[in-house]
Structure formats: C-alpha cells, structure tokens
C-alpha cells in the first residue's frame, strides 16, 4: 500500500530568510499513530502546516492520499483534519454551529448525526448550545478536535493536543485517538510530553533545527538506544575502581559510594552474575542494588544534545 502521506525533499525558508525545514523525507502509513518530537522551534508546526496546505513549501513535494497539497489543494485538504497548536475559536458562536459550519467548509453536506456523534465522543454534548467564550480551555481544545473531525477526515493532525490539558482529559484524549485509529484514521501528533509519545506512538520522528534526525519504530528505538544500568550502593566507599575490575564498564560516583555498571539491555549475557562474583572475590560488599532502563526521554535528550 502506498504511504498515505509522502513528503519528499521538503524545505522551507520563511520570508525572513530563516531555514525552518531542511530536506525532509518522510512517509506516513495508513492507520499508524506517528509522533513528531522536537524542541521548541524545531519546525514541527511548520511541517504540519505545509502538509495541511496552510504554509507553502520552498522546495519539495507533499502528497496526501495521492494528492499534491499545493497543486491539488482542495482534494488533499478534504482528507485531512487539523487541530492547530494555537486555539482559534469564534467566541460568540455555539459549539454546535462551529462544528457544523466547519463540516460545510469542506463541501460536505450537513450531517447532524455525525456532528452529534463527535460531540458525544468528546463529552461536549451538554455544551452544544454554549457559546465558545463560556467554555474552559480544555473544552475549547475539545471543540477544536470536534471541528477537525467534522468532515470525517482520514488523516488527523494534532499539534500539541494535550498542552495545558489536565491529566484526566489527557487520558480521555489518548483513548479517543486510539479509538479513531481503530477506525482506520491515520494520526500524526506533536508533543512535548515524551511519555505521551511513549504511550501512544507506533513510530516516532525526531526533528531538530529543521532536520528530521531520526524516524524509527518506537519499540525498535527503545531497543536500539535503550541502555540498562545497575547501580550498587557500596558498604565502604572506594578510592578508585580496583584493578581486578578494570575490564568492566564501571563508573564510580564522586563520593566513592556507588558503582554503576552499564550494559546492553538486548544482550542475552548481561554479565551481571560474573560482575557480582568478581566483586565478591575483590572483597567489595554492597548494601543495595537497583537496575534502571533509559526512557524515551533519556534517548530524546541525548539525541537532541548530540546535535546541539
């Protein structure tokens, strides 16, 4: 199956001369949840805006469900729902009218049953006659999602969907995103919450300073870059790492109280048993030990720092 979104050699230079995107190549597959991670100003919103036809590319092409987003804008855009990072709502309009009107903008005939379903799924049904200015921030965000879903898009972009959203609504939104994916909708989201990407995404792309520096299956990413560490709390502090242990990748804390052993989480032989035996032979006693695994957050911070 061809990718539902195909980005080829995409670059963007804003009128100010700023290079916001540099030669981006990216394919998104139908039915996946793709998370785009990157620090502030990395180019996430720019990339999304180009795919959605809001910002013009300087170079390169984007196809959405086979339609060129520039030359065949209307067809491409009708496949796409966008929840923008900035909330823009018409303060005096009611929830029902806003969402119904949005559907009309895409040339779809009125479908009150669909609007009702969307509002109910987003727990907005009891607010359908409220004016937007009377809603809380989280409710406004849900209205933005309802608008994006009003024309039954196959592809949904969520730009920072859970920024400033409380924990409960965040969970609700995750559930909603999964339910949408289960109906075949392809989801692309940006987030600053790494745990959100870890929880939700099938694949992860990391963008930094306009360059897509990595695209990887989430599970493979964690496997490939994930490290495990064993920290031993020593009974008696050490001055240095004893010669008998010099062939192990060990680090001693500054106060000499803790030895940290880093090992490959994927390897069958972690070497822990041999290390502990060797410690015993060297007469080094420990009072506590714990293992930890690097999280997606550690991986992300390492990646972005490397390129700083």
Ligand X SMILES: Nc1ncnc2c1ncn2[C@@H]1O[C@H](COP(=O)(O)OP(=O)(O)OP(=O)(O)O)[C@@H](O)[C@H]1O
Q: Which helix (H) or strand (E) holds 201?
A: none
In the sheet that 227-234 helps form, which strands lie side by side, from edge to edge?
250-252, 258-264, 227-234, 286-293
- Tokens at 111, concatenated: 């479908």
Q: Answer with the entry of Mg ion, ligand X, none that 267 interacts with (C-beta below 5 to 8 A by kind).
A: none
Cα Rg, the chain, nearest whole Å: 25
Q: Of the two residues 153 and 205, which places its CB atom closer to ligand X in the complex?
A: 205
Instruction: Find tokens 């727990």 and name the residue.
Output: 123
Nearer to Mg ion among residue 44 and residue 203 (C-beta):
44
- How far is CA 152 from each of CA 99, 118, 185, 299, rounded to the nearest angstrom? 12, 10, 9, 36
Q: For helices 112-121 and 95-105, what crossing angle results, to 10°? A: 120
**Distance in Å, CB of 105 to ligand X, minimum:** 23
Supply the minimum distance, in Å, between the C-beta of residue 298 and ligand X: 20
* Residue 20 vs 69, nearer CB to ligand X: 20
- What is the smallest separation between the CB atom of 275 and Mg ion, expressed in angstroms? 45
Partner touching 88 among Mg ion, ligand X, none, CB below 5 to 8 Å by kind: none
- Of all residues in the shown chain, the one whose CB is closest to Mg ion is 45
Report what 41 binds from Mg ion, ligand X, none; CB cut-off 5-8 Å by kind.
ligand X
Nearer to ligand X, 14 or 134 (CB): 14
Residue closer to ligand X, measured from CB, 209 or 227: 209
Return the structure tokens found at 295: 């999280």
* Closest separation in Å from C-beta 194 to ligand X: 13
Q: What are the C-alpha distances in Å from 247 to residues 236, 240, 244, 250, 285?
A: 21, 14, 8, 9, 19
Which residues are near ligand X by CB under 6 A? Answer: 14, 16, 18, 20, 38, 40-46, 85
């Amino acid at each position: 199956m061809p990718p539902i979104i195909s980005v080829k050699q995409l670059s963007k230079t804003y009128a100010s001369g700023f290079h916001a995107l540099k030669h981006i190549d990216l394919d998104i597959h139908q039915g996946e949840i793709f998370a785009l991670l990157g620090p502030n100003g990395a180019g996430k919103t720019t990339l999304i805006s180009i795919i959605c036809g809001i910002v013009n590319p300087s170079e390169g092409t984007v196809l959405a469900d086979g339609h060129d987003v520039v030359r065949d804008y209307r067809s491409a855009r009708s496949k796409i729902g966008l929840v923008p990072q900035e909330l823009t709502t018409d303060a005096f309009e009611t929830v029902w009218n806003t969402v119904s009107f949005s559907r009309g903008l895409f040339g779809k005939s009125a479908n009150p049953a669909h609007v009702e379903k969307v509002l109910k799924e987003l727990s907005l049904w009891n607010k359908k006659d409220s004016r937007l200015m009377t809603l809380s921030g989280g409710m406004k965000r849900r209205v933005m999602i309802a608008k994006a879903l009003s024309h039954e898009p196959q592809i949904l972009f969520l730009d920072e969907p859970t920024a400033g959203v409380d924990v409960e609504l965040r969970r609700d939104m995750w559930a909603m995103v999964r339910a949408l994916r289960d109906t075949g909708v392809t989801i692309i989201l940006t987030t600053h919450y790494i745990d959100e990407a870890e929880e939700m995404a099938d694949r992860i792309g990391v963008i930094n300073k306009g360059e897509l520096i990595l695209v990887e299956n989430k599970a493979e990413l964690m496997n490939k870059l994930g490290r495990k560490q064993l920290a031993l709390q020593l009974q008696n502090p050490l001055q240095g790492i004893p010669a008998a242990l010099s062939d192990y990748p060990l680090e001693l804390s500054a106060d000499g109280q803790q030895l940290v052993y880093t090992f490959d989480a994927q390897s069958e032989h972690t070497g822990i048993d041999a290390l502990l035996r060797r410690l015993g032979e060297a007469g080094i006693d420990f009072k506590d030990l714990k293992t930890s695994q690097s999280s997606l957050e550690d991986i992300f911070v390492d990646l972005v720092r490397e390129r700083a």
